[in-house]
Structure 1
Amino acid sequence: MKKKLVITDLTRMYRGTVCIAGYDSEHNCFRPTLPPPGIPEQTLVKDGRAVIFPFALVEFDLLEPTPKPPHTEDYRYNADSPCFIRQVQDRKTVLGWSLFEDVNALFDQPILTDPGFYVLDCQGPRSIGTILPRGIMKVIYEAGEDSPWDYRLHFVDRSNSFYRLKITDLTWHYYCDSLRGQGREPTEISSELTSVLKSRDVFLRIGLARGWKKFPERCYLQITGIYTLPDYLEGKTFVDLSPQK
């Protein structure tokens, strides 16, 4: 099945792999997937240019649905099929297709805590969506424990619920790292990005990780995309920020 999707999520996974998600013209969400080990980051680029990136319209050959609640959007695709069509300019409209009042409304099931924020596996209608936070509290960019760097955001949603979530947005990672590559201190970068988000309209894409060895029954909340109006990236893609650029 040929399907054109506007990409809304490009997230960093493990060992050089990524996760992508997008919406069709009827506002249905699809998460194109491949068998293990998954989607290699290098396949997002062709001839030095990004072909799969946020707000790109990309055609996929979708083969079969592989849903497992709450990840109801999963769909296996032909790895050779993605074809870049054009870049979509009206980001606000695209993000509005999946906009929810708050985080709880997005997942439509109890959000549990300690440690972190999570929902239970094998239930729930969806695993990803958009919110407009009521307030940005703090950006965290610091050396990590389980990975070289830790990217997080403290925010309050429209129900006045506080969240401290891990950021898996690939472009955000590259952006933070590029600033550090210019000799900036992580604390300075955190402070600057906090000010940037506080001063702009912010759309957060919130998604669910999958259960893992330590907590197989838990799907932890994570930020899969951070978008601002005006665009903090000034039109750049992850390729423009890559250290290999």
Structure 2
Amino acid sequence: MAYMSGNDSGTIDEGGSMGLKSLSSQYKIDGERQIVITEVTRMTGGMVCVAGLDIHSGAMIRPLQPDGRNWEQSKWVDKDYMVVGNILSLVPAAAGSSAYPHASEDYRVKTVRRLGTASNDDLYIACRDNSDSDADSVFDNQINDEKYVVAGTKCRSLGCIMVSHSKLKASVFYDKIQVSYRDSQGSWHNFPVTDLTAKSSKSLEEGAASLNERISMSSYFKPVALRLGLSRAWKGKNNEYNPMRCYVQLNGIIVSA
């Protein structure tokens, strides 16, 4: 895997934010794909999963290493490459096979270049302008019991919804951090959190508190962007799920100051 740094200190600030329109006008490299990172999530074994918006098409992309693996946190996050808001340019590797629903966004790459960092306003607007009305819509109306999508379903596995900060609350439930809210139809949604920042806290309680603090920083008039994703296929603790299930999770939040 090659990685290079282009404009390490390049922060976008034009005085007027326009989301992807602003970013796409500044970053384009033929033969490569440019994304703004929208979420970084904790995985096992010191690895992270990274995803972002293609700044030219608005499509969600989940970059993977050439062999299909995710990314070492110590190399890619701690060295400030794969951080929410960063602009990356990706050189494609040979296409590999992935199972749906994740195959909708999986994208193998052989070179990663960091071009700069989006302003928080541009990042927020990009998320808002490419959001769906609800979680069901994000996953093409394939959610079962408001919790999971059947493994192998041909639908999206990443997306975003906008929710008023006054409705959101992070808490600890059954040894997991979750963010909950009640929608306009009266249904409760409880999303387990995989956000790297929250999961890196010293305790679950501190992780939930950090999320509540971030939520509280949101502008009163602007909803919070909830970055949603699907877990990899899970067969259950006792192999009870056949077919396997991909559970809805909260990959991160983006707030507008």
TM-score (norm 2): 0.72
Q: What residue number does 2:170 align with?
A: 139
Q: Which amino acid aligns with 2:63?
A: P
Note the C-alpha offset of 1:137. 4.4
Q: What residue number does 1:13 align with?
A: 43
The alignment status of 1:186 with 2:212, answered yes or no, reads no
Gaps of 5+ in 1: 145-149, 231-245
RMSD: 2.7
Q: How does 1:100-111 map to 2 (within 5 A)?
A: 100-111=132-143
Q: What residue number does 1:151 align with?
A: 177
What is the total number of aligned residue pairs between the two structures?
A: 211
Q: What residue number does 1:208 align with?
A: 230
Match of 1:217 among 240, 244, 251: 244
Q: How does 1:66-77 map to 2 (within 5 A)?
A: 66-71=97-102, 72-77=104-109
Q: Which amino acid aligns with 2:215?
A: L
Contact map agreement 1:65 1:74 (CA 8 A) in 2: no
Contact map agreement 1:102 1:131 (CA 8 A) in 2: yes
Contact map agreement 2:182 2:189 (CA 8 A) in 1: yes
Q: What residue number does 1:127 align with?
A: 157
Contact map agreement 2:160 2:228 (CA 8 A) in 1: yes
Q: Which amino acid aligns with 2:40?
A: L
TM-score (norm 1): 0.75
Structure 1 or 2: larger strand share?
1
Identity of aligned residues (%): 26
Q: Which amino acid aligns with 1:226?
A: I
Distance 1:138 1:19 in 2: 24
Which consecutive segments of 4 or more residues in structure 1 shift more than 4 A? 189-193
Note the C-alpha offset of 1:110. 3.4
Q: How does 1:17-96 map to 2 (within 5 A)?
A: 17-24=47-54, 25-34=56-65, 35=67, 38-45=70-77, 49-63=79-93, 64=95, 66-71=97-102, 72-78=104-110, 81-89=111-119, 90-96=122-128
Distance 1:163 1:123 in 2: 22
Contact map agreement 1:67 1:75 (CA 8 A) in 2: no
Q: Which amino acid aligns with 2:192?
A: K
Distance 2:208 2:125 in 1: 29
Contact map agreement 1:9 1:224 (CA 8 A) in 2: yes
Distance 1:142 1:186 in 2: 10
Note the C-alpha offset of 1:123. 1.5
